[in-house]
């Protein structure tokens, strides 16, 4: 009995506890708000997907895209503190609301993804770039709408965030492909000891990467079956 009371006394009182708001979304009980609450968590799912794809593929393109995504978040952090515009509902969300970080996140992700898909898939005549474009645009628009529907942002804040994300994605992609690659920086990133230890590859340099990977697989099958 004494041990139980001692253990119970170590439990902090309720008023001293705080909520880990990483996935804490306040919303109404109607079905539309519930759906929006799930969509508004998309950046967390995308970030986890970045890490998973990066670990599986060891692709420099994914690593650079993730680096741009993180830089995009830093830009949003700075812009919010320069503009200092409050959110429409003071008890929803932390910090300033202009521009919307969720909208800027999704706009960068969608824009960069669409550019990559058309660069790597259009030459093969595949419809996948068009399908991906439609899907990521719808996904991004739903996340943007969710921020307004849940009263975390105004329309001006989500539009501003979307514009910032699109512009940063285009500028960052241009910087990576017109500056880093033209200066040979990708060779340094691929040839350093860590990249070689981690088997980092750069599939963006391959024309029609899907066919190239399929050819490699077929060649491997012939070699193993021949033995």
Structural domain contains residue 155: yes
Structural domain contains residue 16: no
Which residues form the domain of 163?
27-201
Structural domain contains residue 168: yes
The CA–CA distances, whole Å, from 211 to 52, 153, 203, 204 equal: 23, 44, 12, 13
Q: How much is the pLDDT for 152?
A: 79
Distance from C-alpha of 51 to C-alpha of 10, rounded to nearest angstrom: 38
Residue with tokens 């898939």: 121
Q: How much is the pLDDT for 21?
A: 58
Helix axes 101-121, 209-226, angle to 10 degrees: 60
List per-residue pLDDT tens for the chain, 227 residues long: 555 455 555 666 655 555 555 556 655 666 877 777 777 888 888 889 999 988 888 888 888 899 999 999 999 999 999 988 888 777 667 778 889 888 999 999 999 988 888 776 554 455 677 888 889 999 899 898 888 877 878 899 999 999 999 999 999 998 888 877 766 677 777 777 887 787 887 777 777 777 777 888 888 888 887 65
Q: How much is the pLDDT for 72?
A: 94
List beta partners, residue 201. Answer: 59
Structural domain contains residue 215: no
Q: How much is the pLDDT for 1?
A: 53
Structural domain contains residue 9: no
Using CA of residue 198, residue 204, residue 207, residue 208, what is the dihedral sign? positive
Q: How much is the pLDDT for 78?
A: 94
CB 186 within 8 A of CB 180: yes
Structural domain contains residue 178: yes
Residue 132 in tokens: 């991906």
**Number of compact structural domains in the chain:** 1
Phi, psi angles (nearest 5°) of residue 153: -145, 160
Structural domain contains residue 12: no
Q: How much is the pLDDT for 170?
A: 94
Structural domain contains residue 53: yes
Q: How much is the pLDDT for 70?
A: 94
CB 36 within 8 A of CB 149: yes
């Amino acid at each position: 009995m004494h041990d139980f009371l001692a253990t119970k006394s170590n439990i902090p009182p309720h008023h001293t506890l705080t909520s880990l708001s990483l996935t804490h979304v306040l919303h109404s009980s109607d079905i539309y708000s519930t759906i929006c609450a799930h969509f508004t968590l998309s950046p967390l799912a995308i970030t986890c997907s970045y890490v998973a794809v990066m670990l599986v593929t060891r692709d420099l393109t994914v690593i650079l895209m993730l680096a741009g995504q993180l830089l995009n978040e830093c830009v949003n952090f700075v812009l919010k503190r320069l503009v200092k515009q409050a959110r429409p509902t003071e008890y929803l969300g932390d910090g300033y609301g202009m521009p919307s970080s969720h909208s800027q996140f999704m706009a960068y992700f969608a824009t960069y993804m669409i550019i990559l898909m058309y660069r790597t898939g259009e030459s093969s005549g595949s419809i996948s770039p068009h399908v991906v474009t439609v899907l990521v645009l719808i996904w991004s628009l739903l996340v943007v709408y969710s921020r307004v529907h849940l009263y975390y942002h105004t329309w001006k804040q989500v539009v501003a965030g979307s514009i910032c994300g699109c512009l940063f994605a285009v500028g960052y992609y241009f910087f990576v492909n017109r500056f880093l690659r033209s200066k040979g920086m990708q060779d340094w990133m691929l040839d350093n000891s860590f990249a070689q230890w981690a088997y980092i590859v750069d599939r963006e340099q391959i024309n029609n990467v899907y066919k190239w990977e399929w050819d490699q697989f077929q060649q491997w099958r012939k070699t193993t079956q021949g033995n």
